């Protein structure tokens, strides 16, 4: 899933969360689903953030001969 | 040091003068008159021993309506030392400059009109930027939108209603509506010089705070927007449909 698709999914979940026409049962079910999506989305955002920061460090040459490179075994 | 008894002449002097001076002044006059070296504490103690009823303490002065009027009429003419001198000469008092300035400022609510103070209102000699001027404060770019005069110290551009942030104006023009009162315009690519309407996103302070807390302000537009959406969803789930 791309970040653009994630934005779309999150947008839909926001609309569901603020929808007043749902019954209590439906809301409960949707909230549970939204919370699951929320935790996954948070992980995706953090991963993307790490990738972006790593790319920046690689471009700057700051990761050469670093401990993380040894751990990766490159 | 031997104790010297007060003579009848000295006692009489104290009786006659106790209500003309303060204890300190009385001691000074007494020492000069009788060539003694009394401390004001011993004079005060002796006066009490004599049973003298002191009604004048120097600092207590009830200002009459005439005296107050005099101060109101003359405050602009003199400095406080000069006003004190004129007041004492006119009413035969021995008030200090601080008593006079105190009654003027604290009780009568009048102040000296300083010669170097500018009159209220717009100053002719002050240069004012024309409307539409852009000013770079380092962090934000501000645009002058009005030229209303404000008395007093010029506020910073962030709190001056004559100036607005450029991103707010661009966002409002692009969306055709006003920014909400608690709204914050974020730069999705973190570049605060990129005023492309697609790079601007209006959110609120809560979400901006959460973005900062998670260190999610990113140079990547898509990542920033996904993070903002996540924060919006977090609050939508937390607050429910009534607040959303």
Answer whether B131's CB lies under 8 Å from B145's CB. Answer: yes
Give residue-wise pLDDT tens across range B109-166.
887 766 666 777 777 777 788 899 999 988 899 999 998 887 777 778 888 889 999 9
- Residue B55: which pLDDT band, with cuts at 50, 70 and 90? low
Q: What is the pLDDT of residue A21?
A: 85
Q: What is the DSSP letter of B143?
A: E
CA distance B205 to B24: 64
Q: Are A18 and B230 within 8 A, CB to CB?
A: no
Size of interface A-B (CB pairs under 8 A): 68
- The complex's ipTM works out to 0.83
Nearest-Cα residue of chain A relative to residue B214: A46
Rounded percentage of chain B residues whose pLDDT exceeds 70: 93
- In SS3 terms, B164-194 reads as EEHHHHHHHHHHCCCCCCCEEEEECCCCCCC
CB of B227 less than 8 A from some CB of A = yes
Tell me the pLDDT of chain A (74 aa) as tens digits.
888 899 889 999 998 888 888 888 888 888 899 999 999 999 999 999 988 888 888 888 877 777 777 776 65
Q: What is the DSSP letter of B6?
A: P
Q: Is the pLDDT of residue B228 over 50?
A: yes
Which residue out of A37, A49, A51, A59 would a mutagenesis test of the B interface target, given it has the greatest number of B Cβ atoms within 10 Å? A49
Q: pTM above 0.80?
A: no
CA distance B155 to B138: 17
CB of B212 less than 8 A from some CB of A = no
Q: Is B123 helix (H, G, I), strand (E, B) or coil?
A: coil
User: Contacts for B171-177 with beta carbons within 8 Å, 24 or more apart?
Assistant: B171/B197, B171/B200, B171/B202, B173/B197, B174/B200, B175/B202
CB of B232 less than 8 A from some CB of A = yes
């Amino acid at each position: 899933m791309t970040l653009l698709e994630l934005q779309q999914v999150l947008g839909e979940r926001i609309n569901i969360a603020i929808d007043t026409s749902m019954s209590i049962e439906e809301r409960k079910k949707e909230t549970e689903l939204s919370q699951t999506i929320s935790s996954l989305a948070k992980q995706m955002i953090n991963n993307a953030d790490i990738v972006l920061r790593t790319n920046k460090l690689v471009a700057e040459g700051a990761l050469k001969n670093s401990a993380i490179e040894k751990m990766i075994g490159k | 040091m031997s104790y010297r008894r007060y003579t009848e002449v000295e006692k009489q002097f104290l009786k006659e003068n106790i209500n003309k001076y303060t204890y300190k002044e009385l001691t000074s006059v007494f020492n000069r008159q009788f060539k003694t070296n009394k401390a004001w504490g011993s004079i005060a103690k002796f006066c009490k021993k004599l049973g003298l009823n002191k009604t004048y303490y120097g600092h207590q002065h009830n200002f009459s309506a005439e005296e107050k009027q005099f101060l109101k009429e003359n405050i602009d003419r003199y400095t406080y030392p000069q006003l004190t001198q004129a007041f004492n000469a006119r009413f035969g008092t021995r008030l200090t400059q601080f008593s006079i300035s105190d009654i003027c400022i604290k009780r009568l609510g009048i102040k000296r009109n300083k010669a170097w103070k500018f009159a209220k209102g717009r100053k002719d000699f002050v240069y004012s930027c024309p409307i539409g001027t852009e000013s770079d404060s380092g962090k934000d770019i501000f645009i002058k939108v009005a030229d209303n005069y404000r008395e007093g110290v010029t506020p910073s551009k962030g709190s001056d209603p004559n100036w607005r942030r450029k991103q707010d104006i661009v966002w409002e023009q692009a969306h055709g509506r006003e920014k909400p009162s608690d709204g914050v315009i974020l730069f999705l690519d973190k570049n605060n010089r990129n005023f492309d309407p697609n790079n601007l996103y209006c959110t609120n302070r809560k979400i901006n705070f959460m973005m900062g807390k998670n260190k999610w302000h990113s140079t990547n537009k898509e990542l920033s927007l996904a993070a903002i959406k996540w924060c919006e969803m977090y609050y939508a789930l937390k607050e429910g449909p009534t607040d959303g």
